[in-house]
Chains A and B, each alone.
Chain A
């Protein structure tokens, strides 16, 4: 399976731009991703306190993108921290295959998605919209530490497919994310691991982990309306899902509630099966 890399960032003397890009991405899609970097900048104080880097998986009509956001790796010539959006994308035909590899990617996403490994920062001022080379996913994954074999235990997922799965944005949540995507019954979905409520308004996500931005208020303008508004990029696999706009304050509450509820449902199901027999 072939994947391509992309990086949106700046270098020493040259301003923000797509340094490396994939021809399979439309300008709407790249603009859409830039919005996530804008929000990452806006909530940078929350992100610097977070233990992990965010990870997003978004299915566009023709491609699937996986990307992370980061800052502080480099400084520009004025001493300002450089922000970057880095990731990989694969064509629609590879969607399932990419999803099968997802646990492995999640196990090592910061290394796999880091495009700076292939770029000499000091000499990158002239790179603009450079078409990505094609990599096999195995190339990117191999040589990295091999992930532990996952047991396919029951997912922390509710039986109702319209439910959004909320995970904590910590190591434990990352493990759960790995397990969830590893489930054979779980179809390729959008996830936002390490996001803000404002990001959730941009797209439907099946799995969400909020960065702790409690001390930041969301703009109060018509939350529900904006939340419902469909993004211009049409959803594919998850189009039936509802957006659940979570209030970050309620996340902890919701998490507990969710697990209890899940178990109740499973127990009820088992009971039903026995009753039928």
Chain B
């Protein structure tokens, strides 16, 4: 399985991933599911030493162990994980893709834009079972005008990308979760009745995505507030920028000083949503034959017209047919192994419904 996070620089993608993985660290008595960082995305069993090594390497960057926020991501990174249920029943491997947020933040600045990275984004989207859209709750509550919120939170860019993606690759199955990060940082009124106001605002901001989810029978969508640090564990300082280069840039600096042991809130529901709905889709969506799937992908790749540069560069395989073949092989394998876990679908969706507001 593959999950891609999309969000502006600083929206909290890396923090979310670490928060979720440390909440779902193996051996946590509070959760039935575990998310286990791995060295590679394969089925090979790791030795005990290696398992512990990888886990330690990963979790030392989690806020509660590092004692600080993660560093800014300077390169798009793919994190392989395994998902396990209760006593070591491995469900599946997943690849979690953490994009360098600057890629989206500067998408309209030719000098900053990296075409290869943008193409990579498209390919990851094509292969993803779920897209996690990440936006900073504070931006949603701080700015008053809708266009300002969309501009500064990245929603404008993300709405555009999802819209184009739907056009290039119609009728595909996709699960979209809008995650509103840093939910601790908004005023109390936004948090009342399970963050009702915040979620309303989020749906308005991402209205085009919400509409796509509702329009496409094969898409499932939802919205979820999260915080990795929890209430009262952070001192937030907002300062105006000393010199504002352009009124199009965010006019303030934010600094979140950690003053208490993190109490991640809702982070695990990101995984429940992604896994639950991916399983459901594999079960329900009328099975395209693998050959048809291969054809669709091949066509989507050709329509996108980006084949020759990035894919040949990344994988040394220049042909759309070859990529489509590999991708469909992976999908087939995924489906076969995942369908053994059909029984989890109801549990996962029950969990999900507790905290995620679904777009139905």
Contacts and interface: CB of A to CB of B under 8 A. Distances in A.
How many of chain B's residues touch chain A, expressed as a range? 20 to 34
Contacts of A12: 241, 253
B71 A83 contact: yes
A125 B245 contact: yes
Nearest to A31: B75
7 contacts: A10-B72, A15-B9, A15-B106, A78-B254, A79-B254, A81-B71, A219-B39
Contacts of A81: 71
B308 interface: no
B10 A122 contact: no
A36 to B, nearest CB: 12
Interface of A: 10, 12-17, 34, 37-38, 41, 44-45, 75-83, 122-123, 125-126, 128-129, 217, 219-221
Interface stretch (B97-105, B195-203, B208-216): B97-105
B349 interface: no
B243 A123 contact: yes
B72 A220 contact: no
Given A13-B249, A15-B72, 17 more contacts: A12-B253, A13-B105, A13-B250, A14-B105, A15-B100, A16-B74, A16-B75, A75-B255, A78-B72, A80-B69, A80-B72, A81-B71, A125-B249, A126-B245, A128-B111, A219-B53, A221-B39
B71 A77 contact: no
Given A78-B254, A79-B254, A219-B39, A16 B100 contact: yes
Interface of B: 9-10, 39, 49-50, 53, 60, 69, 71-72, 74-75, 100-103, 105-106, 111-112, 241-243, 245, 249-250, 252-256
A129 B50 CA distance: 40
Given A10-B74, A13-B249, A219-B53, A122 B243 contact: yes
Contacts of B9: 15, 78
B248 to A, nearest CB: 10
Nearest to A221: B39
Given A79-B253, A125-B249, A15 B49 contact: no
Identify which of A14, A15, A16 gathers the most chain B CB atoms within 10 Å of its CB. A15
A45 B61 CA distance: 11
B224 to A, nearest CB: 21
Nearest to A220: B50
B250 A77 contact: yes
Contact of B10 (A78, A125, A126): A78
A32 B60 CA distance: 26
A261 B256 CA distance: 54
Contact of A77 (B100, B106, B243, B253): B253
Contacts of A77: 10, 241, 250, 252-254
B242 A14 contact: no
Contacts of B50: 220
B326 to A, nearest CB: 24
Contacts of B255: 75, 78-79
A123 B245 contact: yes
Contact of A15 (B53, B105, B242, B256): B105
A17 B39 CA distance: 27
Contacts of A45: 60
Given A14-B102, A15-B106, A41-B71, A128 B112 contact: yes
Contacts of B101: 15
A16 B101 CA distance: 10
A50 to B, nearest CB: 18
Given A13-B250, A78-B10, A217 B111 contact: no
Nearest to B77: A38
Contacts of A34: 74-75
A86 to B, nearest CB: 15
Contacts of B72: 10, 15-16, 76, 78, 80, 82
A96 to B, nearest CB: 35
Nearest to A9: B74
A122 B242 contact: yes
Contact of A220 (B10, B49, B106, B243): B49
Contacts of B103: 15
B206 to A, nearest CB: 22
Contacts of B53: 217, 219-220
Given A77-B253, A217-B53, A15 B112 contact: yes
Contacts of A80: 10, 69, 71-72
Contacts of B100: 15-16
